[in-house]
A and B are shown apart, each in its own frame.
Chain A
């Protein structure tokens, strides 16, 4: 169950237990509940989308019943019904995607996404596909994708994040999931998606995003750094102690050899240390989890409400949320 759906269910539950007597109070309680939910997660974007969708739904619901209690029960019922229906959205999307996957397609995907999995497994039933998936550091979820696909018999290879450009010419199209699709028509997804989209554009390959409609968000980031997940510590430079001024040596220098021998020594001393290095946790913390892909880099967004161009996303959002 994805965060937005979980949010919708929990907010419905909140309504059941609420004592609000008027619509105003109820909406206020829902807002407080949403705030509480957001506080407990590091990446609140998709959660936000679900909360706002539900609150907008509650506010715009036509009031036919006279008593407020009746209205509340109706709303709760609608909320739960929605959550149940929403489970089927991934299947709808997989079905829509099917026509775009030809036999012997080579697909590139990023990290692990449930909706992409659903689409690939569905396509595998009737077509031959092979998949490249990026490792998606630091969490390495690409490896999970590899396990799942190999288990059902889809040929799959894990590709280094830095080898996306290398592999792009072998690929027919790129398929990614989403954390959120935003008002501009852009995509918020695990970091690396933007890179993939830019390379796909340069190589003239289609870039498709799969997103359930409860991930559509009224956010409008103007740039990468305008995301709510961006904070000053990301990509910040450490404050180093000032370098002591060393008088330059007259000969070829005494310092460098010492440093080098130091490294050699450590290599010799620990033969079991691998030739690979990894980032420390501190270094990883300075890196973002999600990035923003501009709408002009995205070819199509597949959603349960249909196959939309990025421009149509805004029209859908306006139609849903306006008034």
Chain B
């Protein structure tokens, strides 16, 4: 994932010489504006996903487990080609851009190891291509090809209904190739699917008689509402509910970095509860370092260990709090690789495992293992500027003729290892996750 501080950020006019790693100042400035821009970032991610803007990654980046790290090659390749078009990349966009490009950079194919790596590299270079030749109906909007995050709003407002066509029908067909282009770049994730489905529902439900501009405004409003209700407010509700489970004297264990869990811990600390946190981290992403720095600067007492050391400290732990990429109707939780190990270990030691997850991550499908659907971590240097003992070069693994690197990003935690799932509609036991649509039906 993306170690936060030194993410290469591409300034609006693209990196000067394609060497993205020389962007620390840019990265840092957008880093500062991150908290303010974080919300914007999430919004933009959602919009992009919904309008099937090119960036498939951001939606998945919402849980921040996929905090971005653009691979130098991909971004470098793409941006120089359209320096002028990237001109609307203010700091928030830059951070969103970062998340996007990173996520996209990580868009490797699914499970099969050896061909996947090779295929992965090919997908990278694909980003640098000009717009694809096969265009179904109407052109693929040039913005979709940009690495800059195109907000669905921008696309929808940009879009103009051809004469003699209703907005709802034409917009739907207009969006379909965009969506399939996205899916080609990165396998459709649960959250992306949910968002796109919701958008399509809104489009098809839009009133035929409305003037075009009104219809578009209404759609944009619906998109904004989705982001606000299902992501931002949901996070606040989860923060409060999960925070109530934290008692004075607790030793809370968390794995890698989940933005929701981070909010829960910061919120509980702000309320004055006394607890300490153990952050468990693992290679290659080492996302836990970022969480550690945020928590430590807030004044929470933290311990940092790597995953293999889990067995040594599990007896000290009173509560395990993790996030999720998606939850499935059989109660299984699809989350950062390593979460399943943490949950299983905790179960053996009778430590409750609480998963914090918004309802937009719920999928009606059943997931039984982590082979059928997974993604691979990108190649190359993923390390932050955190001081490390060894030279960065020696820690970076690259494929060579005798070595294939396989780093799946996700794994599946079976429902019997989970004690409770905290969503914005309530605290639900894993075997009853199927009641989420019922609960949502009441709310919507």
Contact = CB atoms under 8 A, between A and B. Distances in A.
A212 interface: no
A105 to B, nearest CB: 29
A198 to B, nearest CB: 12
Given A222-B352, A222-B419, A319-B435, A311 B429 contact: yes
A218 B426 contact: yes
A321 B428 CA distance: 13
Interface in B407-444: 416, 419-420, 425-429, 431-432, 434-435, 438-439, 441-443
A183 interface: yes
The winner among A220, A321, A323 for most chain B CB atoms within 10 A is: A220
A311 B431 contact: yes
Nearest to B425: A322
Interface in A283-322: 295-296, 310-315, 318-319, 321-322
A222 B426 contact: no
A314 B354 contact: no
B282 interface: no
Contacts of B441: 323
B420 A220 contact: yes
Contacts of B319: 222
Given A183-B426, A222-B354, A322-B443, A315 B419 contact: no
B228 to A, nearest CB: 18
A313 B432 CA distance: 9
A192 interface: no
Contacts of B429: 183-185, 220, 295, 310-311, 314
B354 A311 contact: no
B420 A318 contact: no
Contacts of A223: 350, 352
Nearest to B249: A232
Nearest to A319: B438
B245 interface: yes
A311 B245 contact: no
Interface residues of B, number: 23
A147 interface: no
Interface string A259-303: 000000000000000000000000000000000000110000000
A314 B432 contact: yes
Contacts of B425: 318, 322
Given A185-B432, A311-B432, A315-B435, A322 B420 contact: no
The winner among B350, B435, B443 for most chain A CB atoms within 10 A is: B435
Contacts of A220: 420, 427, 429
Interface string A184-196: 1100000000000
A321 B319 CA distance: 27
Contacts of A311: 429, 431-432
A148 B117 CA distance: 74
Interface in A42-70: none
A183 B428 CA distance: 7
A226 interface: yes
B432 A226 contact: no
Nearest to B431: A311
A92 B177 CA distance: 58
Contacts of B431: 185, 295, 310-311
Contacts of A321: 426
Nearest to A184: B429
Nearest to B436: A318
Contact of B432 (A218, A315, A322): A315
B421 to A, nearest CB: 10
Contacts of A318: 425-426, 428, 432, 435, 438-439
Contacts of B350: 223
B315 to A, nearest CB: 15
Interface in B315-336: 319
Contacts of A312: 432
A183 B420 CA distance: 10
Contacts of A183: 426-429
Nearest to B319: A222
A220 B443 CA distance: 21
Nearest to A223: B352
A322 B432 CA distance: 14
A102 B180 CA distance: 61
Nearest to A312: B432
A189 B425 CA distance: 27
B443 A323 contact: yes
A237 B434 CA distance: 43
A220 B422 CA distance: 10
The winner among A311, A318, A321 for most chain B CB atoms within 10 A is: A318
Nearest to B247: A226
Contacts of A313: 432
A315 B427 contact: no
B429 to A, nearest CB: 5
A295 B376 CA distance: 37
Interface in B196-230: none
A315 B420 contact: no
The winner among B350, B419, B427, B432 for most chain A CB atoms within 10 A is: B432
B364 to A, nearest CB: 15
B245 A184 contact: no
A286 to B, nearest CB: 19
Interface string B337-351: 000000000000010
Interface in A213-262: 218, 220, 222-223, 226
A61 to B, nearest CB: 15
A231 to B, nearest CB: 12
Contacts of B354: 222
A321 B350 CA distance: 29
B245 A226 contact: yes
A18 to B, nearest CB: 28
A323 B426 CA distance: 11
Nearest to B419: A222
Interface string A159-191: 000000000000000000000000111000000
Given A218-B426, A220-B420, A223-B350, A322 B245 contact: no
B426 A322 contact: yes
B1 to A, nearest CB: 28
28 contacts: A183-B427, A183-B429, A184-B419, A184-B429, A185-B429, A220-B420, A220-B429, A222-B352, A222-B354, A223-B350, A226-B245, A226-B352, A295-B431, A311-B431, A311-B432, A313-B432, A314-B429, A315-B432, A315-B434, A315-B435, A318-B439, A319-B435, A319-B438, A322-B425, A322-B439, A322-B442, A323-B439, A323-B442
**Smallest CB-CB A-B distances: 5 pairs:** A323-B442, A222-B352, A314-B432, A322-B439, A315-B435
Interface of A: 183-185, 218, 220, 222-223, 226, 295-296, 310-315, 318-319, 321-323
Given A184-B419, A323-B442, 13 more contacts: A183-B427, A220-B427, A222-B352, A222-B419, A222-B420, A226-B352, A310-B429, A311-B429, A318-B425, A318-B432, A321-B426, A322-B426, A323-B439
